[in-house]
Amino acid sequence: MPRTALVTGGSGGIGAAICRRLAADGCLVYVGYFSSQAKAEALATEIGGKAVKLDVTSPADIEKAAELCGAVDILVNNAGVSEIGLFDSLPADRCRRITEVNLVGAMSCARTFVKPMIARKSGCIVNISSMWGQVGASCEVDYSASKAGLIGFTKALAKEVAPSGIRVNCVSPGFIMTEMNSHFSADDLELIREDIPLGIFGEPRHVADAVAFLISPQAEYITGQILAVNGGMVI
Ligand code: NAP
């Protein structure tokens, strides 16, 4: 029987790479999407998985996804949104949305999908945080706070469910080339690149490789950890 995996935000840059990698490793992958249905369905066809409409802020969507996917072996909480702007100038509803998607959404999905894992005494959850959750970013205060919350959530949940044989870990990417960073100008990108000790931007596959490791038997004694994938930008 192949292991089953649900990847939230599987339609995005990093999410799609995670879906492809887990499928290549033999998993049956459920590709979660919010608005990019066509992308998710094309990816699901490519990797022999299934596309699942899953707005992580919608309890009804989470319930439907749980019915469709059943008891998954692996949950990757990857869905995320970001917004650049000074803390005191971003409208409160946009700040709330960032927290609801990035943190509360991940917690809500975990709350639902961990139950069958506890019953079966096995499972893996991987949360996708950010280096800004570790050190904070100016002009991304709400985003940084939500991602720091994911780190705390990872550590606390890992302790709570370890006796049930479930591992909970976190990947903390640095600057990865996806749609999320498409607003940066060429000049900005060059300045950012100069701050990366390895001298290159991360690619979605780098994050996918870290997720693949954390859910593998090679990581069977690893839980509650934050694995940074950032080219040395935050050490
Ligand atoms: P992306 O290409 O913009 O993808 C974002 C994904 O999140 C999309 O699949 C999108 O779905 C989904 N999403 C947005 N709102 C959602 C909601 N309410 N419910 C469910 N899914 C929702 O961004 P990315 O770079 O791949 O980012 C993936 C994750 O990595 C995020 O958590 C991000 O914070 C984190 N990260 C990224 C970087 C980076 O440099 N790129 C660095 C650190 C951390 P639809 O397209 O279907 O709407």
Ligand 1 cavity residues, CB under 6 Å = 8-9, 11-15, 33-36, 54-57, 78-82, 101, 105, 128, 130, 173, 175-176, 178-181
% of the chain exceeding 90 in pLDDT:
99
Best of 6, 7, 11 to mutate for ligand 1, by most ligand atoms within 8 A of CB?
11
Q: How far is CA 163 from CA 49, 151, 154, 227, in A?
A: 31, 20, 15, 22
Q: Which position among 30, 33, 143, 221 bears the catalytic label?
A: 143
> Rounded to whole angstroms, how far apart are CA atoms 99 and 156?
18
Neighbours of 1 (CB within 10 A): 5
pLDDT in tens, 205-215: 999 999 999 99
Q: Whose CA is nearest to atom 5 of ligand 1?
A: 12
pLDDT of residue 82: 96
CA distance 168 to 157: 7
In eight-state DSSP terms, residue 126 is: E
Q: What global pTM score does this model have?
A: 0.98
Is there a catalytic annotation at residue 30? no
pLDDT at 80: 98
Cα distance between residue 167 and residue 27, in whole Å: 17
